[in-house]
Structure 1
Amino acid sequence: MAKSILLCCILAITCTLAVASDPAPLQDFCVADFNSQVLVNGVACLDPKLVTADNFFLSGLDKPGNVSNLHGSVITPATVEQIPGLNTLGISLVRIDYAPWGVISPHTHPRATEILVVIEGTLLVGFITSNPDNKLITKVLQKGDVFVFPEGLIHFQQNVGYGNAFSFSGLSSQNPGVVLVPDTVFGSSPHIATDVLAKAFQVDKAIVDQIEAKF
């Protein structure tokens, strides 16, 4: 009897670990109702009688984004905020445009694995494994190449060509989230204590103050 209970527990844990980031839907669709006052893990469902094709539709991803900024890049999202019909479906999409040598800062998606395909240009991409190895896995991608960034790991992209570039990324969550490492560490509100960051990065406090001023 004890062995049977143990086996059931192991199977339950295994099945739990196999579940994707977002919960599986229990109906055909659950179009997001952003006006609902109901608080759930995700967004409450719109009455199915009010659903139209436009709830599953978005146009404009053929148009380049404005890369005239400090990073030389811009992200055009197609998440549940833009496509309410994505609610509970566990998937989303972004278009990323890059100026020459433009970068997407090191960041993580806490709720999604990302798969990127280069549509135009040449990109240097990479991710870093978790402690204790912190190994950099990196590659230069050309048009048509595909690369995967595992869920939760810090990763980045840079256009290493002399012309504009763009890519599309699929993400395994309707709301993958993004944690930009520089913005999070040096641009939090209120700031992380200067002495904490100085010790963490093994630099003088004045350098931390200088970096924080940029955020």
Structure 2
Amino acid sequence: MKRKKFLALALAGVMTAATLTACAPLEDLYDWFFGGGSSSASRGNGTGLDESETLENGIIQWFGLPRANRQKDEAEPMLQEVAKSFDPESWHYNNGNLNGELNDTAKAALDTIAKDKLTETHLYKRTAVDVWEVQPSQTDFDFSENRWLYYDWLERGGVHSDTPTHSSSWEPYSRLKSSIQSTDAFDLYAGTFQKNGKTYAAMVMIRWSNS
């Protein structure tokens, strides 16, 4: 009997809070109070991708990027889609010197993501993407310059068209590192996520020219 009275009083308090603040639906407050587990109260992004500032700082340092040139663009939503679509069974080479690098199956998937998520917000937009397996606590970025990553060029169409065009290729880290100093600005988003019980790190780096 005492428990019923307590629950009634508690629910009444929740209803009062909802009435006074009008900041959340009653059913969400009820689930929050009684442990119903409403998904709308979650702060997750739906993909399990957690941004890693440690990883981002390592990438910026490795490439020698001027931090003052970092701006917001479309790297985060693109990486969210990459993590969502990633298939560890088919996206990576698993033999020889290419072990762990993205393959043509990944390239086809990333082409679709790039066309869907990237827009012509800047002139001569360049986007680099990579995904690799790590240990759960490993967030350092120390890659071989010989490793290849996905690279997308987004620019206006030809002389008779303003339609944006995408051209994708593979780019070695060494070549990207040597040309990146001429970048006017960049957007970087990197983090870790889990698939099939393993931890993966991923990054999307977008560079553009303002002229």
Interval containing the TM-score (normalised by the shorter chain):
under 0.3
State TM-score, norm by structure 2.
0.23
Flag the structure with larger Rg: 2
State TM-score, norm by structure 1.
0.23
Of Structure 1 and Structure 2, the greater helix share is in 2
Q: Which has the higher contact order (CA 8 A, sep 6+)?
A: 2
